[in-house]
Structure 1
Amino acid sequence: MEYNYPLFLASSSYSRQLLLTQAKIPFQVAYQNADETICNHNQSLELVVQEIAIHKMNHVLLDTIKDYPTILVLTADTLSQDPHGTIEGKPQDYNHARQQLLTAATGVSKVATAFCLDKKSYKDGQWHTVDRIVHVVESSYRFAVPARWVDTYLANSIGLKAAGAIAVEEFGAPFLEHINGSYSGLVGLPLYELRSALEKMNFFEF
């Protein structure tokens, strides 16, 4: 398999990088300096993650990337909504993570992951967006960590860096009771929808 353009993932997320690596989708890491707190969190889960993913794209740092005429850039955001309807991001600290997990265990939660994929061309000394695909995937799930397991889970997972403290991969897998929707979307990047978007951007060369 060959690839027509380089893909830059503007995310430091371990889970997203792992998903792309396991799917054998080559990428390079880029950086962004978006302040997510200025986005409107008083709207539906789907709209919040979509706004944040686009906001991140608008703050990707591409000044040092000048070796290609055309590139693809990917940003994403994942948020969870607990059984009581509260939208949860990454835990603020350890105690907050414990609280998030205990609440999640009481019922069914929702998760939404949005990605923004841009095709950009370099012209006249700057990058210009020539195409954009934004997609949101929602799933429902039950992630139940018993109280006696919470400290062990947090010590052995990446829950402290995950939305709602919920990391279903690796050590977190035994606590995922069920999911209705996209597993990779729950992890942090819906690969079926992303592969389709990459095909539309002519990323793959067969």
Structure 2
Amino acid sequence: MSQHRKIYLASKSPRRRELLRQVGIDFEVLLLRDAPPRGPEVTEIVLPGELPEAYVARVTQEKAQAAWDAVLARRLFTLPVLAADTTVVIAQEILGKPANRDEAISMLSKLAGNTHQVLTSIAIKYQHQLLQCTQKSEVTFAPLSDSQIAAYCDSAEPYDKAGGYGIQGMAARFISHINGSYSGIMGLPLYETTDLLARLDPH
């Protein structure tokens, strides 16, 4: 990583920015399209029969490739591109970001009193190289009352996060146990990220 003093982060997530700063990785945010007129550069639709680990890996790889293509198309200085995608899974059901309060309540109701998986896939694209890995953690929620779920869903916190919660926010009080990577649950597993960057060929 020493020969790559900076990377592009292909993500709007403030949590991923915070995590990169935590470990001293210099970065510039590279935003992709997510709205008209030309539509998104990557869609996050689950393909028929697609398993959660295959889904999160595919979407991340597509994000990394789209970001690298954007670097070339915009004639930006070439730096490694880091992309990531986080998915919450319970009983093989993928829980994305809730579109509204009803969806958020439904998701939290499924998570309450149960253990679910958080899959975060990361991919680094640079020149001919694409390095990727997927980190898996388990999170156990304590049982929650309807009023606890409703109060949480009245806040702004659930609506930009997979599964409708953020471990680093108010939902921390619901979580009785985790097994895996705290930073991975937040959206960017730092050990795996720094390891991939260290393995990247600078040429």
What TM-score do you get using the length of structure 2 for normalisation? 0.84
Give the structure 1 partner of residue 36 of structure 2.
none
**C-alpha displacement of 1:151:** 3.6
How far apart in 2 are the matches of 1:157 and 1:174? 16
Alignment of 1:133-172 (within 5 A): 133-144=131-142, 145-156=144-155, 158-172=157-171
Give the structure 1 partner of residue 19 of structure 2.
19
Long gaps (5+) in structure 1: 120-128
**C-alpha displacement of 1:135:** 0.4
Q: Which amino acid aligns with 1:64?
A: R
1:75 paired to 2:83: yes
SS in 1 for 2:42: coil
1:107 paired to 2:114: yes
**C-alpha displacement of 1:139:** 1.1
Give the structure 1 partner of residue 198 of structure 2.
199
Long gaps (5+) in structure 2: 33-40
1:7 paired to 2:23: no
More strand by share: 1
**C-alpha displacement of 1:23:** 2.3
SS in 1 for 2:79: strand
**Does the aligned pair in 2 maintain the 1:36–1:55 contact within 8 Å?**
no
Q: Percent identity?
A: 28
Give the structure 2 partner of residue 64 of structure 1.
74
**C-alpha displacement of 1:42:** 2.5
SS in 1 for 2:191: helix
User: Displaced runs of 4+ in structure 1, greater than 3 A?
Assistant: 154-157
What TM-score do you get using the length of structure 1 for normalisation? 0.83
Give the structure 1 partner of residue 128 of structure 2.
130
1:116 paired to 2:123: yes
SS in 1 for 2:80: strand
How many matched pairs?
Answer: 190
**C-alpha displacement of 1:141:** 1.0
How far apart in 2 are the matches of 1:71 and 1:29? 12
Match 1:94 to one of 93, 98, 101: 101
